[in-house]
Structure 1
Amino acid sequence: MKLEEGQMAPDFEAKIETGETIKLSDYRGKKVVLYFYPKDATPGCTAQACNLRDNYDALQNAGYVVFGISSDAEKSHVKFKEKQALPFSLIADTDLKVHEAFGTWQEKNTFGKTYMGTVRTTFVIDEEGKIAEIIEKVNTKEHTSQILK
């Protein structure tokens, strides 16, 4: 089932890079940017994370809490977060439960090779826990402007 704007975002429980467990429902009353990305420390994912980092004050001033999420493990997230000085948490979805709930783990095709992977997608979730916007065509270098438009 494909998620749509206006629907309640699926609640989940997952670990961030520190090993702490968070739940999406703990952030009710706040706007949440949940961005799914394929892999730590790759060029596009680094560009996207750094764009959000460089504009983090504007996102916070607009009332957003930001979470990046990939299938990488906590240890990988710690290194990526430290190297890029990211001010937001990264969710380690190694069992792909959150990806599956949001429909971002899909069959992909690169150079004729078919494989399963993360489809880069951002969900903007409102204070009530509803999906306010789904950004499927992510511009990694200008992602903040897509969110704040």
Structure 2
Amino acid sequence: MNSRRIFLNTLFASFFALITWLSITPSAAALGGKLPTVNQSAPEFTLPTNTGDGEVSLSDYRGKWVVLYFYPQDFTSGCTLEARRFQQDLPKYLDKNTQIIGVSADSVDSHAKFCDSEKLKFPLLADIDGKVSKAYGSWIGFVSMRHTFIVDAQGVLRETFTGINPAIHSSEVLVRLNELQAAS
């Protein structure tokens, strides 16, 4: 029994190492499908949220900028680090009239536990069947890839990030958000 548990833990760790590698490898974008086109309307969606308030649609945020980030799984090291950085910088985003939204294939319950554990104050959406992740070119088999999109207040996709380093990603997004908002 002990050797079986070690084997399963090793298998699980290897799987998520592969997913992490795919998420930060530039060529991984091709694996997830076609990314939506910058300067075109962002793909619309409606998904259930961790807050228990039903569903959230991208159109709910018209009039605000949106940072929409896709990630593989709640409670994994890279995903936790990325979420913590977005939470740490949340006041800066709010000052820029910007909503952070996270999306993965995890359940609403998993998202609720993750938000409670990490004290996240932005919504995480449950894309269990990967439909929205596919629309954003961010789906690989059964998990979302680590991609981020900046959507302007009119619902137009303004930036796409692939090859993400979770430790510094929020800072990179803030820099680009500042540039985009200054230019608009």
Question: TM-score, normalised on structure 1?
Answer: 0.90
Cα distance between partner residues in 1 of 2:123 and 2:133: 17
Point out 4+ residue stretches in structure 1 off by more than 6 angstroms. Answer: none
Separation (CA, whole Å) in 2 of partners of 1:132 and 1:58: 19
| Seq. identity, % | 38
- Residue in structure 1 matched with residue 161 of structure 2 by the alignment: 135
**Cα deviation digits, residues 100-129 of structure 1 (max 9, x gap):** 11110025xxxxxxxx53210001000110
SS in 1 for 2:35: coil
SS at match of 1:137: coil
Query: Aligned letter for 1:11?
Result: E
Match of 2:76 among 12, 18, 42: 42
Q: Which runs of 5+ in 2 are unaligned?
A: 1-33, 176-184
Unmatched runs of 5 consecutive residues or more in structure 1? 108-115
Tell me, in whole angstroms, the C-alpha distance in 2 between the residues paired with 1:27 and 1:56.
16
Q: Distance in 1 between matches of 2:96 and 2:168?
A: 17
With the length of structure 2 as denominator, give the TM-score of the two structures. 0.73
Where 1:86 maps in the other structure, the secondary structure is coil
> In the alignment, which residue of structure 2 is the partner of 1:80?
114
Q: 1:3 aligns with which of 36, 46, 71?
A: 36
The superposition leaves residues 30-87 of structure 1 with CA deviations (integer Å, 9 ceiling, x where unpaired) of: 1001000000000000000000111110111111101110000001001100000001
User: Does the CA-based 8 Å contact 2:147-2:160 persist in structure 1?
Assistant: yes
Aligned length: 141
Please give the root-mean-square deviation of Cα atoms over the aligned residues, in Å. 1.2
SS at match of 1:66: strand
